[in-house]
Structures are given as structure tokens and as C-alpha cells.
Amino acid sequence: MPMELLDVQCGFGTAPGQRQPVTAADLCDEMERIGVGAGLVRLTPPTLHFDIAAGNAALYAVHDQSPALIPCPVVIPDAAHDLPSNDAQAAEAVGHGAGAVCIRPRTDCWSLAPWASDGLFRALSARRLPVLCSSDEVPLEELGGLAGRHRGLPLVILGANYRQQRILAPLLEHFPNTYLSIGSNYCVHHGIEALVGAVGPTRLLFGTGFPDVDMLPTVTYLSYA
């Protein structure tokens, strides 16, 4: 029986080695080719999209045209009083059909310290809105602290690599509100089996890393686990 897949780690924009940007239509074509039914999408790479409002608006517009592309907008604490309030950002995401939100504290120059960001995470937690956390942006140790402070907030780890397995396993075991995308760069030998044995299958999410990488390797990795 074919698997019904939702890719939590994909997007469109500029990809390594590509002369032309990868469009939302290109993403839809790749999903159809591989057999992925829906995708939680972001703009890539984050370093080319500093205008958060414009980037989020582009995601919402794509979702209106292609409902299978579920927006994952960027949110940022309103600590500097130059952005919509934390509640307004969370409400806007939900109102536009977002399946999750993304944080980029390193790219957007803000702190995960409680005094700087907990207002945002309380607003997201009140709506049970999952938060995607790239390991390039959120060190796993800091993610553990965030998971402990906001135990009702689902946190999804993206881009973890094979050398972090000894941190990932206890992190997932200790904090039931944490989840792992098995997309790029996660490629641990028997890693899926080990983590399923430790925390069960519902804590691992299918993700690919497209357009930085092809979708098919992660499908294969999952299929043979």
C-alpha cells in the first residue's frame, strides 16, 4: 500500500547549484513525481528573505493557489516594538491556514532567553501551533530549555545530523513535546529504528529538505526502515 506523505521540511526559492529559482510550481511537480500529498512550505534560503511580512505574504498567496502547499510563516518576538504583537502574528498564521511556524533567531538577530522571547512562545502555545526549529538556528541544548519552559508547545527539529544522535535521543525522551524531521541532514544508520524504539513512531515526522536536496532519498530511507 502506498504511503500518504506530508513533507514538513520543504520549500521553494533559491537552491544550491540551481541557476534559476525553484518555484512553487516546481515544488508541486516534484511532490507529484515522488508521491508526496502535501508539504509544509517555507521560503529558502532564509538569508535571502529578511522581509518577514513580504515572505509570509508570498507563502499565503501560494497556499491560496495550491492548497497542498501549507504555509509555514516566520514569526519573531515583538520585543523591539517594531512588529505586530506576538498574539497578532500567531493569529495571522492561523487565519491564513498555517500548519506551523518557523523561527530563525540567528538570522533575525533575537534571543531565545525567556525575558526576550517567552511572550511569543506563550502566544504560539495557546494555539498549539507547532514551531519548526532548524539546528542551524536553534542549538539543541537551547531547544531543550525552550521545550521545558513551554511543555504544551510542539517543537519540530529540522536538519539534525548523524553526530547529534546522542543528544537527540535523550532530548526526545525527556521532552514529549519535541519531534524530529527525518529529512536532510538526518541520515543515521538505523536511526529511525532506534528512535522509534525509544519514543515511538509518532515523534518522527517525514521531511525531505527540498529544494536543497532531492526528495527521493528520504522516501527511500523511510521505506527501508
Q: What is the pLDDT of residues 87-117, one digit of tens each?
A: 999 999 999 999 999 999 999 999 999 999 9
How far, in Å, are 34, 60, 68, 146, 148 from residue 65 at the CA level?
Answer: 21, 9, 9, 35, 38
* Inter-residue contact 71 to 60 (CB < 8 Å): yes
Q: Identify the band that residue 49 occupies on the pLDDT scale cut at 50, 70 and 90.
A: confident
Look over the chain and give the mean of its residue pLDDT values, rounded to a whole number: 95
- Checking if the pLDDT of 2 tops 80, the result is no
Q: What percent of the chain has pLDDT over 70?
A: 99
| pLDDT attached to residue 3 | 75
- Checking if the pLDDT of 1 tops 60, the result is no
Mean pLDDT, range 56-71, rounded to an integer: 97
- Checking if the pLDDT of 18 tops 80, the result is no
